[in-house]
Structure formats: structure tokens, C-alpha cells
């Protein structure tokens, strides 16, 4: 049995791929990146935070910085 692979921000090529994630996957990404999501009661709120995080990761990758 292989260990479970957690989703990584840079695994996603487009914002549309993020929209396909489940609530659980969105929460995992936020948790693994130490982003507080308490108080988020709707999937759209979680998605907004993940999209912002993904955009930051992409911009830092393009600048040559790695997370």
C-alpha cells in the first residue's frame, strides 16, 4: 500500500483545476500551507484562499523562488 499523496500547489497548471477540488482537498492544501480557514463555511471561501495561495506560489516560482 502506497502512502497517500497530498495535493501540492504547484501540481496544478490552471485555476480551473482548483475548481475541481473537493472541500477536503481544499482544506488539506490550506492546512499544509499553514493558512487559517476557520470560519470558512462555504466551498467558495476555501477556494478563494487556495486560489490566492496558488497565484502567490506561481508568481514566486516565476521569480525563481521555491516554496
Q: What are phi and psi of 25, to 5 degrees?
A: -65, -40
Domain ranges of the chain: 14-62
The whole-model pTM stands at 0.82
Give dist(CA 12, CA 54) in Å, integer: 8
What was the pLDDT predicted at 64? 63
19: nearest Cα among 39, 42, 48: 48
Range in 1-10, 36-45, 52-61 with the lowest mean pLDDT: 1-10
pLDDT at 66: 52
Amino acid at each position: 500500500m502506497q502512502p497517500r499523496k497530498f495535493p501540492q500547489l504547484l501540481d496544478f497548471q490552471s485555476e480551473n483545476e482548483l475548481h475541481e477540488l473537493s472541500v477536503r482537498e481544499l482544506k488539506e492544501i490550506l492546512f499544509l500551507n499553514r493558512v487559517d480557514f476557520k470560519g470558512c463555511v462555504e466551498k467558495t471561501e476555501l477556494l478563494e484562499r487556495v486560489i490566492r495561495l496558488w497565484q502567490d506560489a506561481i508568481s514566486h516560482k516565476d521569480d525563481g523562488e521555491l516554496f
